[in-house]
Amino acid sequence: MSSSSAVQIGRPRLIAVTRWNMRGGTGDIRWASLIAAALGVVISIFLGLWWVTAAVPRFDPHDPALRSGNAAHGRLVFAAGNCAACHATPGQSDPLELGGGLALASPFGTFRVPNISSDATDGIGSWSVADLANALIAGVSPAGQHYYPAFPYSSYTGMRLEDIEDLYAYLKTLPAVSGRPPPHDLPLLFRFRRGLGLWKLLFFEDGRSEARLNGDPVHDRGAYLAETLGHCAECHSARNALGAIKPETRFAGGVDPEGTGFVPNITPNRIGHWSEAEVAAMLRTGETPGHGRVGSSMADVVANFSLLQQSDRDAVARYVKSLPPRPTPHP
Ligand code: HEC
Ligand code: HEC
């Protein structure tokens, strides 16, 4: 402005032109500042998104408070968590060969379950207890990246630290398996793990448990086993377009996460006539009161739950029988 007015004073004959220039000049400045402001907004949105989507580990990887625990108990945690159903190498009979490789189909592409054997390079043999806790509770890898929720940490996030310490000790006793499965087969858009930060903002809160407690120790133990370790709702619920469980369908059944078949409603709407003892017995033998043995992915759950103490199966049965009735969602 000041240089333009200097021009006006010094060269009066150019006034008209200068006026025109002045107008043009302010227009340019206005455009420039608009563009700068827009860029600023874009950059701040980007930085904001970058910031809110960061993968934040819950524990320091060298946290001395986290120690390897009791492997014998860890075996039961491993069974209740059904870890082998996904992580055991397909095509061989040993459920304790955790070389991974199972292909998990989903609406978002195919996930390849990783090697979690004690192999130091291909598995998780070099991990600390805190690394395992960060994976299970925060869904964050040692490299500081988000995991896909195809790994059911949305349920495991409620795990007790002592259980993770025991699980860690048990995993150490299992054989090292070398080799890494191929990478996930996902469309380009879903390959950026950073984007999972948005998913987590919407659907995940680390440490949050969906367990409804009522002070009865049997019921509350069942709540922990069903909601957290056994992650029953991960299969027995319907999911929204972004792959998160629809809360109103929790335990009410839904399309199999792999898209094959329908997982039944296990609220009183469907199994209200089962007694607690019948639910507990099914978890040991697979036998249902009315229609034979359960099959497909439930057979793995039963194989694992049959290893637990009877009191744990009883506890799950009490919790399941206390679920609020919910209508089966339409597939
Ligand atoms: C429904 C299948 C499924 C179950 C059950 C499951 N996982 Fe996984 N797990 C996955 C998938 C898929 C990934 C890969 C996630 C990713 O790449 O973001 C994974 C990743 C992991 C990782 C990270 C490995 C790495 O190399 O970074 C660990 C550790 C792990 N799981 C441990 C467990 C344990 C312990 C259990 C049982 C308590 C368990 N998982 C149960 C599917 C499963
Ligand atoms: C990996 C997925 C998966 C998980 C995890 C899972 N279920 Fe199932 N469940 C199924 C499938 C699939 C069926 C149907 C089996 C069949 O049709 O033979 C089933 C069947 C059942 C049934 C029989 C229902 C009926 O009407 O016949 C009950 C009860 C049950 N599950 C309870 C549980 C409990 C309790 C848990 C948690 C401890 C659990 N499920 C965890 C997949 C799962």
Residues 38-64: tens digit of each pLDDT: 999 999 998 988 888 999 999 999 998
Bridge partners for 105 per DSSP = 110
Residue nearest to atom 30 of ligand 2 (CA): 266
Which ligand number lies closest to the CA of residue 112? 1
Would you say residue 7 has pLDDT above 50? no
Would you say residue 8 has pLDDT above 70? no
Residue nearest to atom 19 of ligand 2 (CA): 298
Ligand 2 proximal residues by C-beta, below 6 Å:
82, 226, 230-232, 234-236, 263-264, 266, 270-271, 279, 282, 288, 294-298, 301, 316, 320
Which pTM does this prediction carry?
0.91
Q: Report the C-alpha gap between 198 and 203 in whole angstroms.
A: 9
Amino acid 65: pLDDT:
92
CA of 150 to the centre of ligand 1 (A): 8
Would you say residue 91 has pLDDT above 50? yes
Q: What average pLDDT score do residues 235-249 get?
A: 96
Q: Report the C-alpha gap between 174 and 268 in whole angstroms.
A: 39
Would you say residue 210 has pLDDT above 90? yes
CA of 20 to the centre of ligand 1 (A): 68
Task: Work out the percent of the chain whose per-residue pLDDT is above 70.
Answer: 92
Q: Report the C-alpha gap between 92 and 75 in whole angstroms.
A: 20
Q: Report the C-alpha gap between 133 and 119 in whole angstroms.
A: 18
Q: Using N-to-C axis directions, what is the helix angle for 276-285 and 296-305, rounded to 10°?
A: 100
The two structure tokens encoding residue 236: 């027995």
Ligand 1 proximal residues by C-beta, below 6 Å:
81-83, 85-87, 104, 111, 113-114, 116, 124, 132, 135, 141, 147-148, 150-152, 156, 167
Amino acid 4: pLDDT:
43
Would you say residue 131 has pLDDT above 90? yes
Q: What average pLDDT score do residues 174-184 get?
A: 97
Atom of ligand 2 nearest to the CA of 82: 5
Domain ranges of the chain: 2-52, 57-206, 209-331
DSSP code for 274: S
Which ligand number lies closest to the CA of residue 193? 1
Atom of ligand 2 nearest to the CA of 234: 5
Bridge partners for 104 per DSSP = 111
Amino acid 18: pLDDT:
46
The CATH number assigned to the domain with range 209-331 reads 1.10.760
Amino acid 26: pLDDT:
75
Q: Report the C-alpha gap between 118 and 116 in whole angstroms.
A: 7
Residues 273, 279, 285, 289: what is their CA dihedral angle, to the nearest 10 degrees? 0
Amino acid 258: pLDDT:
75
Pocket test for ligand 1, best of 116, 159, 191, 297 (most atoms within 8 A of CB): 116
Would you say residue 25 has pLDDT above 70? no
Would you say residue 105 has pLDDT above 70? yes
Would you say residue 37 has pLDDT above 60? yes
Would you say residue 199 has pLDDT above 70? yes
Q: What average pLDDT score do residues 184-196 get?
A: 95
The per-residue pLDDT of the chain, averaged, comes to 92
Atom of ligand 1 nearest to the CA of 104: 12
DSSP code for 83: H
Q: How confident is the model at residue 325 (pLDDT cuts 50, 70, 90)?
A: very high
